[in-house]
Amino acid sequence: MDIFMLSISGGIGAIARYLLGQVIMGKYPDPPIPVTMLSVNILGALGLGLFYGAYFRSIPMYAYDDLWFLILGIGFFGAFTTFSTFSMEALELLRKKSYRKFVWYVAISLLGSIVMFSAGYSLGLWIW
């Protein structure tokens, strides 16, 4: 049953990432940095932080036995966000010798995700 729930929630997360990516690419067809994955990863960090704050009220390091963590934390947000695409896009900026864009993309992605996770977590604690 856990594998089934993980599959369904992961599929929904991947579809949500794809659809949001289509909207963003439609609005910004030629951005200076890869804004699609930047937006998806930062939004995913916010959502995961909100879930942790509201549901766990802490940041457990090992919650794999919890069904909601499996569904939302690993399934939905795991499929919604993507570190591998971020890494590929960052490497592509380096390959093109776009060093400033690379630094901005990496800094905004990493710091933005941490800040947004923290904001979501705090909001989750406050709301619930």
Radius of gyration for the alpha carbons in the chain, expressed in angstroms and rounded: 16
Of 34, 3, 39, the residue nearest 19 (C-alpha): 39
Find the domain containing 104 and state its range. Answer: 2-127
Q: What does the pLDDT read at residue 65?
A: 85
Flag whether 44 is marked binding: no
SS3 97: coil
Instruction: State pLDDT tens for residues 12-65.
Output: 999 999 999 999 999 999 999 999 999 999 999 999 999 999 999 988 878 888
Q: Which two tokens stand for residue 59?
A: 């940041």
pLDDT of the residue at 119: 98
Closest Cα partner for 105 from 120, 89, 85, 116?
89
**CA gap 32, 74 in Å, rounded:** 31
How many structural domains compose the chain?
A: 1
Averaged pLDDT for residues 82-93 = 96
**Tell me, what DSSP letter sits at residue 96?**
T
Tell whether 78 is in a known binding site: yes
Whole-structure pTM over 0.85, yes or no?
yes
Secondary structure class of 102 (helix, strand, coil):
helix
The tokens of 47 are what?
């959502």
Distance, CA of 114 to CA of 112 (rounded, Å): 5
